[in-house]
Structure 1
Amino acid sequence: MTHYRLDDAGQTLVLHAPHDGLPACVYWGARLPDTQDLAALTAAAEIDLTGGTLDAHPRLTLCPQTADAFPGQPGLVVRQTDGTPLRPRFGGTTVTQDDGLTLTCVDAVAGLTLTFFFGIDAATRMMTARTLLTADAPVLCDWLTSPVLPGPQLADDVIDVAGRWCDEFQLNRTPWAAGLRARDNRTGRTGHEHFPAAILPARGCTNTTGEAWSLHYAWSGGHRMVLEELQDGRRQIQFGHATGLDASPATRFETAPLLATYSGSGLNGCAVAFQRHLRDRIVTWPKPDTPRPVHYNCWEAIYFDHDLTVLQDIANRAADLGAERFVLDDGWFGKRDDDTTSLGDWRIDPRKYPDGLAPLIEHVQALGMTFGLWFEPEMVNADSDLARAHPDWVLGPMDQPLGRGQYLLDMANPAVRDHLFTVISPILSDHDIDYIKWDHNRMLPHADAAQTRGTYDLIDRLRTAHPLVEIESCASGGGRIDAGILARTQRVWLSDCNDAQERLRMQHDAALFLPSAITGSHVGPRHCHTTGRVHSIAFRGWVAAQRHMGFEMDPRELTDAEATTLRRITDWFEANRDWLRRADILRLDSADPSVIAEQQTAPDAHRFVVFAGKAATSRQSAPRPLRLTGLDADAVYRVDIANRNDISGLSRGKPALKTGPIELSGRALMALGLNLPYALPDSMWVIEGQRL
Structure 2
Amino acid sequence: MLISYSEEEKIFHLKAADMSYIIQICDDGKIAHAYWGRTIKNINFRNKSIISTLNYDPKVTSFNMDVLPQEYPAYGTGDFRSPAYHVQLENGSTISNLVYNSYKIYGGKPKLEGLPATYVENDDEADTLEITMIDKLTGLNVVLTYTVFKNYNVITRSTKFINYGREKLKLLKVMSASVDFDSSNYDMLQLSGSWAREKSIYRHALVPGIQAVDSARGFSSAQQNPFIALLSKNTDEINGEVFGFSLVYSGNFLAEVYVDQFLKARVNIGINPFDFSWVMTPGESFRTPEVVMVYSKNGLGDMSRTYHKLYRNRLCRGLYRDKERPILINNWEATYFNFTEEKIKDIAKAGSELGIELFVLDDGWFGKRNSDNCSLGDWVEDRNKLPNGLHKLVKDVNDMGLAFGIWFEPEMVSPDSDLYRKHQDWCLHVSDRERSSGKHQRNQLVLDLSRKDVCDEIVRFMSEILKNANISYVKWDMNRPYTEIGSEKLSSEHQRETAHRYVLGLYRVMDEITSRFPNVLFESCASGGGRFDPGILYYMSQTWTSDCTDAVERLKIQYGTSVVYPNISMGAHVSACPNHQIGRITDMETRGNVAMAGNFGYELDLTKLTEEEKIIVKKQVEIYKEIRHIIQFGDFYRILSPFEGNETSWISVTEDKKEAVVSYFKVLAEPNILPIRIKLQGLDPSTMYEIIGEDMICSGDELMYIGIEVPRETKDFSSIMWRLKEV
TM-score (norm 1): 0.93
Match of 1:574 among 618, 625, 629: 625
Check 1:637–1:406 CA distance in 2 against 1; reply closer, same or farther (3 A cut): same
Distance 2:177 2:627 in 1: 41
Q: CA deviation at 1:52?
A: 12
Residue identity opposite 1:263 in structure 2: S
Match of 1:30 among 38, 63, 68: 38
Deviates more, 1:13-22 or 1:545-554: 13-22
Deviates more, 1:345-354 or 1:548-557: 345-354
2:212 equivalent in structure 1: 182
Residues 1-41 of structure 1, C-alpha deviation per residue, up to 9 Å, x if partnerless?
211122222221111123533323211111222x2234536
Contact 1:208–1:587 under 8 Å retained in 2: no
Matches within 5 A, 1:36-115: 36-38=43-45, 40=47, 44-46=51-53, 54=63, 57-81=66-90, 84-98=92-106, 99-115=127-143
Q: CA deviation at 1:60?
A: 2.4
Distance 1:238 1:12 in 2: 20
Distance 1:414 1:330 in 2: 26
Q: CA deviation at 1:49?
A: 9.0
Distance 1:469 1:551 in 2: 20
Contact 2:184–2:259 under 8 Å retained in 1: no
Q: CA deviation at 1:621?
A: 1.1
Residue identity opposite 1:31 in structure 2: T
Distance 1:57 1:169 in 2: 35
Distance 2:180 2:686 in 1: 38
Contact 1:165–1:192 under 8 Å retained in 2: yes
Distance 1:377 1:511 in 2: 28
Residues 380-421 of structure 1, C-alpha deviation per residue, up to 9 Å, x if partnerless?
011000100000111114623220000011111111111122
Distance 1:16 1:636 in 2: 50
Match of 1:363 among 373, 380, 396: 396
Residue identity opposite 1:229 in structure 2: V
* 1:535 and 2:586 aligned: yes
2:480 equivalent in structure 1: 442
Match of 1:3 among 7, 11, 32: 11
1:18 equivalent in structure 2: 26
Matches within 5 A, 1:491-502: 491-502=542-553
Match of 1:471 among 519, 522, 540: 522
Check 1:97–1:620 CA distance in 2 against 1; reply closer, same or farther (3 A cut): farther
Distance 2:141 2:652 in 1: 46
Residues 94-140 of structure 1, C-alpha deviation per residue, up to 9 Å, x if partnerless?
11111211111111211101111111223343221111111134321
Q: Could you say what secondary structure the match of 2:277 adopts?
A: coil
Q: CA deviation at 1:619?
A: 7.7
1:648 equivalent in structure 2: none
Distance 2:362 2:103 in 1: 51
Match of 2:599 among 534, 548, 551: 548
Distance 2:82 2:386 in 1: 58
Deviates more, 1:487-496 or 1:680-689: 680-689
Check 1:131–1:677 CA distance in 2 against 1; reply closer, same or farther (3 A cut): same
Matches within 5 A, 1:236-315: 236-244=266-274, 246-250=276-280, 251-288=284-321, 290-315=323-348
Contact 1:25–1:148 under 8 Å retained in 2: no
Match of 1:125 among 140, 145, 153: 153
2:4 equivalent in structure 1: none
2:696 equivalent in structure 1: 662
1:638 equivalent in structure 2: 690
Distance 2:46 2:221 in 1: 43
1:647 equivalent in structure 2: none
Contact 1:372–1:434 under 8 Å retained in 2: yes
Distance 1:171 1:6 in 2: 31
* 1:135 and 2:163 aligned: yes
Q: Could you tell me the percent identity over the aligned residues?
A: 28
Contact 2:372–2:442 under 8 Å retained in 1: yes
1:407 equivalent in structure 2: 445
How many residues align structurally? 672
Q: CA deviation at 1:65?
A: 1.5
Contact 1:14–1:38 under 8 Å retained in 2: no
Match of 1:336 among 339, 349, 369: 369
Distance 1:665 1:115 in 2: 53
Residue identity opposite 2:697 in structure 1: E
Residue identity opposite 1:439 in structure 2: D
Contact 2:414–2:445 under 8 Å retained in 1: yes
Contact 1:608–1:690 under 8 Å retained in 2: yes
Contact 2:321–2:541 under 8 Å retained in 1: no
Residue identity opposite 2:408 in structure 1: F
Residues 166-192 of structure 1, C-alpha deviation per residue, up to 9 Å, x if partnerless?
110111112111111123311000100
Q: CA deviation at 1:620?
A: 6.4
Check 1:57–1:339 CA distance in 2 against 1; reply closer, same or farther (3 A cut): closer
Matches within 5 A, 1:173-252: 173-244=203-274, 246-250=276-280, 251-252=284-285
Distance 2:639 2:73 in 1: 39
Contact 1:521–1:549 under 8 Å retained in 2: yes
Check 1:185–1:56 CA distance in 2 against 1; reply closer, same or farther (3 A cut): closer
Deviates more, 1:583-592 or 1:164-173: 583-592
Distance 2:144 2:298 in 1: 29
Check 1:461–1:64 CA distance in 2 against 1; reply closer, same or farther (3 A cut): same
2:608 equivalent in structure 1: 557
1:613 equivalent in structure 2: 665
Q: CA deviation at 1:43?
A: 5.2
Contact 1:612–1:684 under 8 Å retained in 2: yes
Residues 436-473 of structure 1, C-alpha deviation per residue, up to 9 Å, x if partnerless?
11110001113711111111111111122222222111
Contact 1:348–1:356 under 8 Å retained in 2: yes
2:121 equivalent in structure 1: none
Check 1:533–1:541 CA distance in 2 against 1; reply closer, same or farther (3 A cut): same
Contact 2:132–2:142 under 8 Å retained in 1: yes
Contact 1:154–1:203 under 8 Å retained in 2: no
Matches within 5 A, 1:480-495: 480-495=531-546
Distance 2:65 2:277 in 1: 36
Residues 302-331 of structure 1, C-alpha deviation per residue, up to 9 Å, x if partnerless?
111130111111101112222111111111
1:650 equivalent in structure 2: none
Check 1:106–1:47 CA distance in 2 against 1; reply closer, same or farther (3 A cut): closer
Distance 1:335 1:39 in 2: 74
Distance 1:289 1:634 in 2: 29
Contact 1:79–1:139 under 8 Å retained in 2: yes
Match of 1:623 among 660, 667, 675: 675
Contact 2:640–2:647 under 8 Å retained in 1: no
Contact 1:141–1:244 under 8 Å retained in 2: no
2:491 equivalent in structure 1: none
Residues 316-357 of structure 1, C-alpha deviation per residue, up to 9 Å, x if partnerless?
111222211111111111111110000001111122222211
Unaligned 5+ segments in structure 1 are 643-659
Q: CA deviation at 1:141?
A: 1.1
* 1:170 and 2:200 aligned: yes
1:671 equivalent in structure 2: 705
Contact 2:66–2:81 under 8 Å retained in 1: no
Q: Could you say what secondary structure the match of 2:708 adopts?
A: coil
Residue identity opposite 1:462 in structure 2: I
Matches within 5 A, 1:338-357: 338-357=371-390
